[in-house]
Structure 1
């Protein structure tokens, strides 16, 4: 992109910059060149993406072009667009994100979809208590609280910086009064005799340690490794959760976990070995890959029959 307009050069309009940047990103093998060009330019101008086309012939001044050029350089260095803009949409809610939290993925919305019928089923009665373990940006807890405002939520993370950002997101969407925030690793802050839940959800680290160096630059070099690294086998955190959280689930309560596409068999085996769960189900994501595991804590009636 030229540094400035001169009498011999055309003035750079919005649509011309979108086209030029799309071509430039494509030449550098970025996966979504036009979308990323639009997001970055909309961020520079402080408008919605659709406004770029409603004002397609609007020229950019020197300051705007300089800012846009700086963002292009950051993206080509591998920095994720979400960290550049500080925002990511999840469940149609705009969330603040930064290097202290994992960027919410579309496939995680499958976890929200999987548990909403359980929460919204009036036949089970009463106001339900929900725990989100490893909340990060707060995406799952906030989406669920937005859809099920009568719930009582607890969101946990080992990182105070992540919890601070999650709470900012909760305040932005008006659900902070429904959420209690705990700092600690997995179930460390909880006491079984004091905390019981109808639903526990988690998107824990599940990428095998040896696979992380082969991930895309924007993931490997920018997103928090602790939110990615599932230890050598990839299922260490999943195992820890499955083997411990039944103590905090009410009889018949649900545990729902995001997992790697090839981890369903391991998750089912871990759950079965505890002898604490029934009705284990595997749900596919939008790419038809195994992504979510749900299971119910054995009800008192099931335990008696067993």
Structure 2
């Protein structure tokens, strides 16, 4: 920051300077990043910054904000710096070691809500399982919407499970049963879930190095890398999911926009699934594959 009298650094001036500084360092959405980081630093909402635009920053506030800016120009994601990320209808705690929830995944939540709405119309209490819960954004969003269903979630990462539990306790209060394990390995092999959802890793291994540095250098690779063709996790889930779905139960999986054909080819091996549908996100990309367990 250039030298100025402390009182010269008002909120609006620091935002303008920071936007220019971040842009010079090729940081995406520099104005938004400046607002989010300053709001976090001052303990305010973004709107409050403009309601108090001529308020000067104190010396300690300037020092704290400068430290945040230094982290951002090293490509550390804003969500890790502030410790939270807005998703669907709540703010979720996140930290390094946990995948940052993406807007694309809200499409998965919306489809799951449609399934649960149908169950609610039949006055049925449904059992819902999320595989690879990460921050818990999906399962917690569903539990927030429908508190009377039964919710279960797993992850192989102890860091992710700890964060997911904190988000569940803070946002929904209702009990979600969390457990550690890779996909279905920790479960007894019997039909027990009406709905299974997952946003598995689906980026081909060779593409990891081409990701933005803030993703590649900071977010957990285990939550991104889907193997040679990006479909390893779908193979692992589809080979077993029908054993854990109730007859007519639904499986919802997020997918890469260009993976429809590959998933269709995998599904040809499993007549246990029917009513297969591919659902597009707001950008018009295939984002969700929905299927139901065939009723014998």
TM-score using structure 2 length: 0.97
Q: Deviations over 1:78-114 (max 9, x none)?
A: 1000000100011120110001210000000000011
Match of 2:251 in 1: 255
Residue 4 of structure 2 corresponds to residue 46 of structure 1: no
Tell me, yes or no, if the aligned pair for 1:104 and 1:139 is still in contact at 8 Å: yes
**Structure 1 contact 149–175 (Cα < 8 Å) conserved:** no
Aligned length: 295
Contact 2:147 2:174 survives alignment (8 Å): no
How do 1:260-275 residues align onto structure 2 when only pairs under 5 Å count? 260-275=256-271
Instruction: Give the Cα separation in 2 of the matches to 1:299 and 1:3.
Output: 72
Structure 2: runs of 5 or more not aligned: none
SS of structure 2 residue aligned to 1:274: coil
Helix, strand or coil for the counterpart of 1:292?
Answer: strand
- 1:131 aligns with 129
Which of 210, 213, 216 lines up with 2:209 in the alignment?
213
Supply the distance in 2 between the matched residues of 1:2 and 1:66 (Cα, whole angstroms).
13
User: Once the 2 structures are TM-superposed, how far is the Cα of residue 246 of structure 1 from its aligned partner?
Assistant: 0.7
Matched, 1:102 2:99: yes
Alpha carbons 1:145, 1:175 under 8 Å: kept: no
C-alpha contact (below 8 Å) 1:134/1:157 kept by paired residues: yes
**CA shift for structure 1 position 125:** 4.2
User: Is 2:242 the partner of 1:278?
Assistant: no
Match in the other structure for 1:299? 295
2:163 to 135, 143, 165: 165
Q: Which residue of 1 aligns with 2:222?
A: 226
2:140 touches 2:172 (CA, 8 Å); kept in 1? Answer: no
Partner of 2:95, secondary structure, is coil
Q: 1:93 aligns with which of 90, 93, 103?
A: 90
Deviation at 1:3, TM superposition (A): 5.1
**Deviates further, 104-113 or 234-243:** 234-243
1: CA distance, partners of 2:78 / 2:282: 22
Deviation per CA, 1:247-268, whole angstroms, max 9, x where unpaired?
0001111000011111011112
Query: For 1:135 and 1:36, how far apart are their aligned partners in 2?
Result: 26
Shift of residue 270, structure 1, vs aligned partner:
1.3
Aligned partners of 2:4, 2:96: CA distance in 1, in Å? 32
Q: Note if contact 2:156-2:182 (Cα within 8 Å) is conserved in structure 1.
A: yes
| CA pair 3-253 structure 1, distance change in 2 beyond 3 A | farther
Q: For structure 1, which segment, 14-23 or 127-136, has the greater mean C-alpha deviation from structure 2 after superposition? A: 14-23
- Unpaired runs of 5+ in structure 1? 301-306
TM-score (norm 1): 0.93
Aligned to 2:152: 154
Once the two structures are TM-superposed, the CA of residue 183 in structure 1 deviates from its matched residue by 0.3
State whether structure 2 residue 73 is matched by structure 1 residue 76.
yes
In the alignment, the residues of structure 1 paired with residue 106 and residue 172 of structure 2 have an alpha-carbon distance, to the nearest angstrom, of 20
1:22 paired with 2:19, answer: yes
